Amino acid sequence: MRIRHLTGAAGAALLLAVSAAAHAAGPWFVRFGITHIAPNDDSDRPPLLAAGSKVSVDGDTGLSVAIGRFLTDHVAVEVLGALPFEHDIKGAGSIASLGTVATAKQLPPTVTLQYHFSPQAAFSPYAGLGLNYTFFFDIETKGALAGTSLDLDSSWGAALQLGADFRLAGDWLGNVDVRWIDIDTEASGSATGTFDVQIDPWVVTVGVGRRF
């Protein structure tokens, strides 16, 4: 789902950015959170492995930070950063018995344009649309694939977001945020051949933030 998601989101994000840029600058916000990445994963068959083989990608939980800025009363732009997430990659389908065959770390920086429906209210929901870039590093093969090479391409894709801020004391906010991110990678390995892996995770964050 790589190219279609990208162009649709980029076009919509650009339209929002152009219409928002004409307005005066607003306040900044920062959020620190615990983020869980829950893949909706699937893969093509690795061509060098048995018929019916696939891989699956496990989730991970880590720390994230989001920094944003209101462009108008209701429209904000936000950048999501995080410490690296680490995922186990496991055999699936006919090779499910292999268990973990690799681990990979990734960073998923994401820019979203958000519409905040009632930004002054104690309960302030918002929706966002944006662009994610995910890159993989420290890829290590294990178990049945130990000693073989494995590479995972970077991914560009759309990010959809729904969340809400809850006013706490002063300028502090509680926050719950759910994103769906279109992350797909091409895997190439000396023992697997080249095949596509869809990760397309739910990314759920609970945290605290502050306006300033």
- What is the binding site for Ni ion (CB under 5 A)? 1, 182, 184, 198, 200
* Minimum distance, C-beta of residue 184 to Ni ion, in the bound complex (Å): 4
Structure tokens at 132: 């994610």
Name the residue number minimizing CB distance to Ni ion: 1
* Minimum distance, C-beta of residue 170 to Ni ion, in the bound complex (Å): 41
* Minimum distance, C-beta of residue 181 to Ni ion, in the bound complex (Å): 9
Q: What are the distances in angstroms from CA 103 to CA 68, 76, 142?
A: 32, 35, 8
Beta carbon nearer to Ni ion, 27 or 109: 109
Beta carbon nearer to Ni ion, 1 or 206: 1
* Minimum distance, C-beta of residue 134 to Ni ion, in the bound complex (Å): 11
Nearest to 136, CA basis, from 185, 66, 101, 63: 185
Beta carbon nearer to Ni ion, 6 or 176: 6
* Minimum distance, C-beta of residue 9 to Ni ion, in the bound complex (Å): 12
